[in-house]
Chain A
Amino acid sequence: EVQLVESGGGLVQPGGSLRLSCAASGFTFSSYWMHWVRQAPGKGLVWVSRINSDGSSTSYADSVKGRFTISRDNAKNTLYLQMNSLRAEDTAVYYCAREGVLMLGGMDVWGQGTTVTVSS
């Protein structure tokens, strides 16, 4: 079964750091681009970051650029999001998602999400 499972969320103080993980199974992880997408409470989906299949290329939303770092370990089938200098507005459910082959930007597999709360 194709599956993505996020972990690492929790409560953190403003200015703090957190690292999210996304464990992939059921498919050849190293062949796919991967994304992080977040959703603030009661709000819509917002793209956060993307990494290509071998990890050599990354991109970020302006709101997180310079504070978040996406990475992957293809040997461990795991995607990461290192989040530093966290702000209250980073509070959200964070989803990892797979970009489908030939889907030209569409995300065909999503994890269940992990919740990040930034509060003092």
Chain B
Amino acid sequence: SYELTQPLSVSVALGQTARITCGGNNIGSKNVHWYQQKPGQAPVLVIYRDSNRPSGIPERFSGSNSGNTATLTISRAQAGDEADYYCQVWDSSWVFGGGTKLTVL
């Protein structure tokens, strides 16, 4: 079965740029989706199909996907961006990465 690998944690200084990676075999050939989940809340889709933002998601959130790594980039990080972030793809079934905890310092 297909596996997605994410770092357990990423830290970023307030106002700086955070990058969260999602590794998978030839993930560049797949459509990657990203979710934000704050404590006690349901996940929220922040990026779909590699680099598209749903309505209501700030432009500070962007995505890219190439080779064996997809990346979620959060520019001008804010305290409110602290959350767990999950990548997800479809590969014969729906697969989630293990999640990355983003800390804004």
Decide if A106 touches B43 in the complex (CB within 8 Å). no
1/0 contact string of B3-22 vs chain A (CB within 8 Å): 00000000000000000000
A to B CB contacts below 8 Å, 24 in the list: A35-B94, A37-B96, A44-B84, A44-B96, A44-B97, A47-B96, A50-B94, A100-B45, A103-B33, A103-B48, A103-B49, A104-B49, A104-B90, A105-B33, A105-B89, A105-B90, A106-B31, A106-B33, A106-B48, A107-B33, A110-B42, A111-B42, A112-B41, A113-B42
What CA separation (Å) do A104 and B95 show in the bound complex?
A: 13
Instruction: Look across to chain B and name the residue whose beta carbon is closest to the beta carbon of A113.
Output: B42
1/0 contact string of B61-74 vs chain A (CB within 8 Å): 00000000000000
1/0 contact string of A45-78 vs chain B (CB within 8 Å): 1110010000000010100000000000000000
Given A104-B49, A105-B33, A106-B33, A44 contacting B98 (CB threshold 8 A): yes
Decide if B42 touches A105 in the complex (CB within 8 Å). no
Number of interface residues of A (CB under 8 A): 22
Question: Does A29 count as interface, using CB distance less than 8 angstroms?
Answer: no
Across the interface, B86 reaches (CB within 8 A) one of A44, A61, A95, A111, namely A44
Q: Which residues B50-101 have CB closer than 8 A to chain A?
A: 54, 84, 86, 88-90, 93-99
Residues in A neighbouring B86, C-beta threshold 8 A: 44-45
